[in-house]
Amino acid sequence: MKIPNSEITPYELYLNRRKFIKSTVLASIGASLPKGLNANHSDNSEIYNAYLDEGDELNKFSEITTYNNFYEFWSGKGDPAKYSKDFKPEPWTISVDGLVNKPKTFDFDDLLKKITIEDRVYRLRCVEAWSMVIPWQGFPLSALINIAEPLSSAKFVKFETIFRPTEMPAQSTGLLPWPYVEGLRMDEAMNPLTLLSTGLYGHKLPNQNGAPIRLVVPWKYGFKSIKSITKISFTESRPVSTWQSLAPHEYGFYSNVNPNVDHPRWSQSTERRIGEFKRRKTLMYNGYEKEVSYMYKDLDLKKFF
């Protein structure tokens, strides 16, 4: 039996989760609807706005689902919504392998049943190539990692997107090397802010947003938040991500939001939120400096960008 997204967590637990915080560079908020509440994507829904900081405002459902980066459906911002209609996210499996005690291929619905009520929802922000405020829903990646029981030798987590050229038209081209690959260090993957998202605005993830399950890493740029994940591997060596393999001088492994380190072709000191004209100052680690900076205290952030 499938678990409805709207019944993922009781209302009391939902309200007691971490409050929404001011965001930058896709300030996205991972959220879920409380039990019994119908899915709602009305603009500025009060159930979400109650947790926004001053100066923040939810993006419209129409903005979130029509302005996307998902290169499997071509590179234009409106292309994913246009060309993903034939993509079939059900049924879905996720294989977990590598340096783990319990390798397994999970049926997506069975995996959701293994996630405890306490872990089913996590509100946070994530990053993209622009700024939005999005109410995500999902569960911490650490919940899945704990199920897999990684070995002590596992230092990194590698993610792969599904490869279906018949449903993802750009995969039939050389636009990018396929399948799309991303990776995190183990401590990054275990951080409670790192989310596996299964929906937004109370709905299952739309195809163009990474159905049926995607990564959301709130203090990193959006290309780290890989979509339509079908394989998760635990490795001892650091994986080479897709964008890092294409342009290592522009896209490093860490890809943390850092206003003090410019991209070679543009400044990253400010960001533009969709729906706003005026640019905002980019916050260090997307405003999560207190929560995540300890993981990088020994790194030269200009070298390990």
pLDDT digits (tens, 9 = 90+) for 166-179: 999 999 999 999 99
Please report, in tens digits, the pLDDT of each residue of the chain (305 residues total). 333 333 333 323 333 333 333 332 233 333 223 332 234 555 556 666 666 666 777 888 999 999 999 999 999 999 999 999 999 999 999 999 999 999 999 999 999 988 876 676 544 444 444 678 888 888 999 999 999 999 999 999 999 999 999 999 999 999 999 999 999 999 999 998 999 999 988 889 999 999 999 999 989 999 999 999 999 999 999 999 999 999 999 999 999 999 999 999 999 999 888 888 899 899 999 888 999 999 999 999 999 99
The pLDDT of residue 84: 98
Q: What structural domains and CATH numbers belong to the chain?
A: 5-296 (3.90.420.10)
Q: Which of 28, 76, 33, 68 is nearest to 218 (CA)?
A: 28
Residues of 108-133 as b/e, b for ≥16 C-beta within 10 angstroms? Answer: beebbeebeeebbbbbbbbbbeebbb
pLDDT at 59: 85
Six-digit token pair at 235? 């490795």
**The predicted structure's pLDDT at residue 136:** 85
The separation between CA 257 and the C-alpha centre of its own chain, rounded to angstroms, equals 14
pLDDT at position 168 is 98
